[in-house]
Amino acid sequence: MEAAAGEYGEPGNLAGVRHIILVLSGKGGVGKSTISTELALALRHQGKKVGILDVDLCGPSIPRMLGSQGKAVHQCDQGWVPVFVDQEQSISLMSVGFLLENPDEAVVWKGPKKNALIKQFVSDVAWGQLDFLVVDTPPGTSDEHMATMEALRPYRPLGALVITTPQAVSVGDVRRELTFCRKTGLQVIGVVENMSGFVCPHCAECTNVFSRGGGEELAQLAGVPFLGSVPLDPELTRSLEEGRDFMQEFPKSSAFPALTSIAQKVLNGIPALFS
């Protein structure tokens, strides 16, 4: 998935970015931002430098999930400096949430203005050296997705992580996202099934709140890898609401091995997919 300078265009601020992953789903409410956040944290805990580009312009939730609300974006010679989430500067984040004067302000923009900001996020953010740039997208297959792909594709080949929940309604919508990937030539790294059962914190019994197995079946039908299932977990929810590092603070949680396994499969699968 690496590209030499000039192979896909003049890299500019993306020159130091090795891999770009788009987190997609045809349906809202499946946890794309959750998976984007926890994937970044899991990769960081494996020694990787990660950037997150939040192009969910109408619902920028990742600043809160990473405890970065209220931080400011600064300018440098190369453009905007992303917000660094940790002191080690191993996770950097760019989101429209940092540009709003009021966090409760609604982004009431038409397509051209959204597309222009996405292109600016790609060209004018000084990402520096990154192993991964994780791109959190809104639901669907519309303007923001096309603008993101058109802006990023000249610089690096792109991989897609497709998120679903187990129930048939979600799987049906996400199937359209896989069709979108095929039509646009977007390589699919794999499918992740989120909210896959609730593991009781007291007795460890798993209750399949939303049925089970839909994500794995979808991956098999589409001929793409199934990367794993992430259970509903109160500790994960609390860590996201409070902006805490779930991977560091809750290693005994039921969701921890699922998330670390998915991150490892992403690391293992990228070289083969883009060789």
Q: How many CB atoms lie within 10 A of CB 224?
A: 20
Find the radius of gyration of the CA atoms of the chain: 18
What pLDDT does residue 242 have? 93
Domain annotation for the chain: domains and CATH numbers: 12-273 (3.40.50.300)
The answer to whether 49 is a known ligand-binding residue is: no
The answer to whether 172 is a known ligand-binding residue is: no
What pLDDT does residue 6 have? 39
The answer to whether 68 is a known ligand-binding residue is: no
Residues (pLDDT < 70) of the chain are 1-11, 204, 273-275
What pLDDT does residue 189 have? 96
What pLDDT does residue 155 have? 79
The answer to whether 181 is a known ligand-binding residue is: no
The answer to whether 71 is a known ligand-binding residue is: no
What pLDDT does residue 9 have? 43
The answer to whether 30 is a known ligand-binding residue is: yes
The answer to whether 32 is a known ligand-binding residue is: yes
The answer to whether 200 is a known ligand-binding residue is: yes
The answer to whether 97 is a known ligand-binding residue is: no
pTM recorded for the entire structure: 0.90
What pLDDT does residue 141 have? 79
What pLDDT does residue 274 have? 65
The answer to whether 159 is a known ligand-binding residue is: no
Q: What is the dihedral of CA 238, 261, 187, 127, to 10 degrees?
A: 60
